[in-house]
Structure formats: C-alpha cells, structure tokens
Amino acid sequence: MRNSHTKITNICALVTTSFFLSACQSLTTASINSSNEYRMDRYNDIRSTSDYHECRKTAFNLDERASNETSKFLASAEHFEKCDRIVDNEPNLVGTNVRLKTIAMSVQNYIKGGDIDRARTMLDHFENVANGHDLYYPDSSSFKDSMTVLLNASADKSSLKLSQQNVRRKIKDEVRRTWYWKVN
C-alpha cells in the first residue's frame, strides 16, 4: 500500500512538473531583437520631433530678425524648409496644422526674399501636405488663395477669378493696380 501511495505521489509530481514546464516559454532572440528595434524606432521618433521643434524655434528667431533684409528672409525660409524635411518621411510625428504653418512661413519668406520659384515649389508642397485643408489669417482670408494670387498674378489676369478668391482686399487691389499699369 505504501508503495502504491509513493507511486501515485511521484506520478502526480511528474504530471504537475510537466504541466508547469510546458507553460514556460523561453525568450527567443527574435522577440528580443524586435523589442530593441521598437525601442530604437521610438527613440528616433522622439529625437526627430525634438529636432523639428528646435529647428522651428531657430527659424522663427531668424524670421523675427529679418526686418527688411531679403537675405535674412531667404535664410529663414530655407530654415523653415529644412525643418519640414526633418519630418517629411514621418508626417505623423507632428500635427498637420503645425507642419502647415511651418511650410506657410517658408512660402511667405521666400516671397519676401524675392525667390518666387522656390515660393511656388513650397506652395505646391503645402497643397500636397494639406490634403484639402487650409490656413486662415485673422481676417478669415485663405493662405492658399492669397499665395496663389500673389504667385500667379501675372499669369492669370482674370478679374472674375480674382474677385472669387478668398484673399485680402488689399492684395486684390494691388494686383488690379499692377494689371492696370502694365496695360496703360
């Protein structure tokens, strides 16, 4: 009887040990590597976001110091463009609105600096990133419409199209004045 009791106890211990050992899983190198890759990706994302915000801060400082010097406006515009390139491959790292404002500053400063071709290129980039969205000035005029009118005023001389744009009255008046003096 004692022998059968010991056998039963040994069998129960063996079954219990097998059960617990089967529940354990060994860590594989693949899971450790994927965990490390995930951490590195998150670190790189945080670093890119931080670099982006520092770049914007520098670009705004350049913009404030530009005053009326075209070379400083161009330097600021190039810096804003550089900032956008930091997050170009990872657009979800910063909010779309923040990114659009960065690109918009680049467009405006290229215009102020006199580099109209680069301003047009950045406006096209703005439209691609915006995906149908727009920024609005305090008077509710459209950034996209305003820049389009300014950059394409000489190409499209239609008063009807100009009046339909959501652009500041001052810009419309200036474009019409330019058209008048080119003809008369």
> pLDDT tens across 161-171, in order?
666 666 777 77
The confidence band for 32, taking pLDDT boundaries of 50, 70 and 90, is low
C-alpha 59/C-alpha 167 separation (Å) is 26
pLDDT(33) > 80: no
What does the pLDDT look like over 2-24, one tens digit per residue?
A: 566 677 777 766 666 665 656 55
How far are the Cα atoms of 38, 116, 167, 170 from residue 173, in angstroms, in the given order? Answer: 55, 20, 10, 5
Helix (H) or strand (E) holding 82: helix 70-86
C-alpha 102/C-alpha 106 separation (Å) is 6
Q: Which tops the pLDDT comparison, 83 or 37?
A: 83
Q: Which of 17-21, 33-37, 42-46, 138-142 has the lowest mean pLDDT?
A: 17-21
Residue ranges per domain, the chain? 42-133, 136-184
Determine phi and psi for 31, rounding to 5 degrees. -70, -35
Which pLDDT score, from 0 to 100, does residue 17 have? 67
DSSP type of residue 90: -
Ramachandran sector of residue 29 (left: φ over 0; alpha: ψ -120 to 50; beta: rest): alpha
Q: What is the mean pLDDT of residues 136-152?
A: 86
- Chain-centroid distance of CA 183 in Å reads 42
What does the pLDDT look like over 91-143, one tens digit per residue?
A: 788 999 999 999 999 999 999 999 999 999 999 999 999 988 999 988 888 89
The confidence band for 59, taking pLDDT boundaries of 50, 70 and 90, is very high
| Tally of CB atoms within 10 A around 79 | 21
CA-closest candidate to residue 106, choices 149, 51, 152, 66: 66
